[in-house]
Amino acid sequence: MRRLAACFLAPLLAIAGTPIAQAQEPPPPAPYVAPAKPPSVATVPTPEQVLAIPPQMRQMLQKQVIARHNAREQRLQALVEMIFGAQALDLQYDPNATYTVSEIWQNRRANCLAFTLLFVTLAREARIQARVQEVDRVVSWYQDQNQGVVYSVGHVNVGVLVEGRNGTVDLDRNILYDRRGPHPITGERALAHFYNNRGAERMAVGDLVGARAFFDAALAQDADFSATWNNLGVLDSRQGDLAGARASLEKALRVDDRQDAALTNASVLYRRLGLPAQAQALEQRLQSVQRVDPFVQYMQGAAAERRGDLATAIRYYRRAVQLYDNAHQFHFGLARAYFLSGQVARADRELLRARSLGGTTEQARYQAKLDSLARLRTQQQARR
């Protein structure tokens, strides 16, 4: 599947990939302390208000995209240029900007979710076939690939169909999809993502009333959106409604019995309720889920590497590679751990594999690493 290079913003845009905002209650839970100044209670926009194109943006679209080009492929490229061009919308990445289309126009900022809704809305206005796509699990990289890694349970992007060819427009190009990859979702589920994110943002600033209103709006769009049921469980717990929290978290797990956040939150809640057997069962299920999740294994390897435990890092990286052999980033992580532990030949082998799997940019970078290893081996042999 072809991916359009639509993300050429700041290096930190790789922290974007969490359009499914899922709260997690830390054990033991800290008592809630109301903010000194009560936050303003947010109003919930209607679906029509979320996607409404302001007149000035519609004029820009007509002038720079629709009137200039008849071919859909040319319109698609023009739309990308309009959104990111310095003389047009000049969109900037903001991880907290779960904005409506009108708010994006006002602020010229968006996160991955808001960008996706914006792009699909404008593309359809320009008669380009576009849809919201969801990826269940992703890993994103900062520009510093040794340290900057973000594991996320979900991501959204844009799927387009032009001249019979499928393509993907993604705000985050430093991202690794799960095996299933992007799959189309309904407009209702896309809006559920929006309301769920806004609810999580309101909960973070202490507007619990506003958070519940947004979560209710999300479930009105998709009653089986497990991320929102999980977030409602956290909200109920913060408000002291443990029975409500239990009902919400158990609903989340009925919808998706492998959801990490809900498994963690429910097990913590069960222990608070004096139900250790039920808590232990969920903890065991979580371990089982994570054992077969290559992204979790990779993240555990990266954590071990950062603390200098290379043997553990190698074990986790190898497990990630066994579970998902086609991810060049996993092979690169394993190569790095091998190299740091003095296993140069094995590092060389994994770098070769990473180079064969990577794109043009990655291949050049991995070739440079291979050249460095070759020079190192030559120097070592000369010293003998």
Name, of 142-146, 178-182, 358-362, 379-383, the range with top average pLDDT: 178-182
Instruction: Identify the pLDDT of residue 41.
Output: 61
Which residue range is the domain that position 16 belongs to?
2-188
User: Are 88 and 128 in the same domain?
Assistant: yes
**Is the pLDDT confidence value at 383 over 80?**
no
Q: Is 329 exposed, middle or buried (0-12, 13-18, 19+ CB in 10 A)?
A: buried
End-to-end alpha-carbon separation of the chain, Å? 50
The pTM for the full model equals: 0.79
Cβ 263 vs Cβ 249: under 8 Å = no
Separation between Cα atoms, residue 294 and residue 112, nearest integer Å? 23
Instruction: Identify the pLDDT of residue 185.
Output: 95
User: Are 285 and 250 in the same domain?
Assistant: yes
Residue 363: give its domain's CATH number. Answer: 1.25.40.10
Give the pLDDT band (50/70/90) at residue 152: low
Domain boundary among 188, 210, 240: 188
User: Are 273 and 328 in the same domain?
Assistant: no
**Is the pLDDT confidence value at 213 over 50?**
yes
Residue 130 parent element (H or E): strand 129-135
Count Cβ atoms below 10 Å from residue 209 Cβ, excluding itself: 11
Instruction: Identify the pLDDT of residue 384.
Output: 63
Give the pLDDT band (50/70/90) at residue 284: very high
User: Are 166 and 42 in the same domain?
Assistant: yes
Poorest-pLDDT segment among 29-38, 223-232, 277-286:
29-38
Instruction: Identify the pLDDT of residue 174.
Output: 65
Count Cβ atoms below 10 Å from residue 31 Cβ, excluding itself: 7
Compute the average pLDDT of residues 261-280. 95
Cβ 158 vs Cβ 120: under 8 Å = yes
Cβ 62 vs Cβ 68: under 8 Å = no
Q: What are phi and psi of 134, to 5 degrees?
A: -120, 140
Count Cβ atoms below 10 Å from residue 73 Cβ, excluding itself: 14
- Provide the percentage of residues in the chain whose pLDDT is more than 70: 81
Q: Amino acid letter at 135?
A: V
User: Are 75 and 162 in the same domain?
Assistant: yes
Separation between Cα atoms, residue 81 and residue 60, nearest integer Å? 12
**Is the pLDDT confidence value at 149 over 60?**
no
User: Which tens digits make up the pLDDT trace of 125-137?
Assistant: 999 999 999 988 7
* Number of independent structural domains in the chain: 3
Residue 159 parent element (H or E): strand 155-162
Nearest to 121 by CA among 64, 61, 69: 61
Poorest-pLDDT segment among 193-202, 337-346, 366-375:
366-375
Instruction: Identify the pLDDT of residue 67.
Output: 96
User: Which tens digits make up the pLDDT trace of 355-379?
Assistant: 888 776 676 777 777 677 667 667 7
